[in-house]
Amino acid sequence: MVLSIAIFAVLVLGYFYVVFKVWRGESEFDRDNPPPFWPFSVELWRGAGRALPVLGLGTLILIGAGITSDLVGAKDPSYDAVMAVGLIGLLLIVLVGFPIMYLNRPKVLVPPIWRDDPPIYPRRRAQGASDQRRRDRG
């Protein structure tokens, strides 16, 4: 268990290091060229970069709640509270991180250098992606 706490501490320190660099615009994140293992579109790669601070925080909350729940045990009275904290991390990812990825909202949680990026969802609709799918079905 000590090893998992040490690894989690390194993850937290690395998260803050990366987020501060991203927030100041000093990161080496290449928005236009996703790595070869990325199976999705370039727009989604940019959206994931925009949402990195929120998605990373939600992930750290989930991991931290998992480690803590293992430490306290299922019979402990605080176990439910720890699970609620994990749920908060999951909700942060789904209700805040995904809207940043697709809609570029809320702007206050988007790194300043990327606040003017166009959102993914309206652009995809404007390109007629959904209309083409409807035509193919009907």
pLDDT, tens digit (0-9, with 9 covering 90-100), for 77-90? 999 999 999 999 99
pLDDT of residue 125: 55
Tell me the DSSP string of the chain: -HHHHHHHHHHHHHHHHHHHHHHHT-----SS---TT--S-HHHHHHHHHTHHHHHHHHHHHHHHHHHHHHH-TTSTTHHHHHHHHHHHHHHIIIIIHHHHHH--SGGGS-GGGTTSPPHHHHHHHTTHHHHHHHHH-
pLDDT in tens, 99-128: 999 999 999 999 999 999 888 876 655 565
Find the range with the poorest average confidence among 13-17, 34-38, 92-96, 128-132: 128-132
pLDDT at 130 over 60: no
Q: pLDDT category, 134, cuts 50, 70, 90?
A: very low
pLDDT at 132 over 70: no
pLDDT at 131 over 60: no
d(CA 81, CA 72): 11
Residues 6+ apart with CB under 8 A from 1: 67, 70, 71
The domain containing residue 6 runs over which residues? Answer: 2-137
Query: What is the tally of structural domains in the chain?
Result: 1
pTM, two decimals, is 0.84
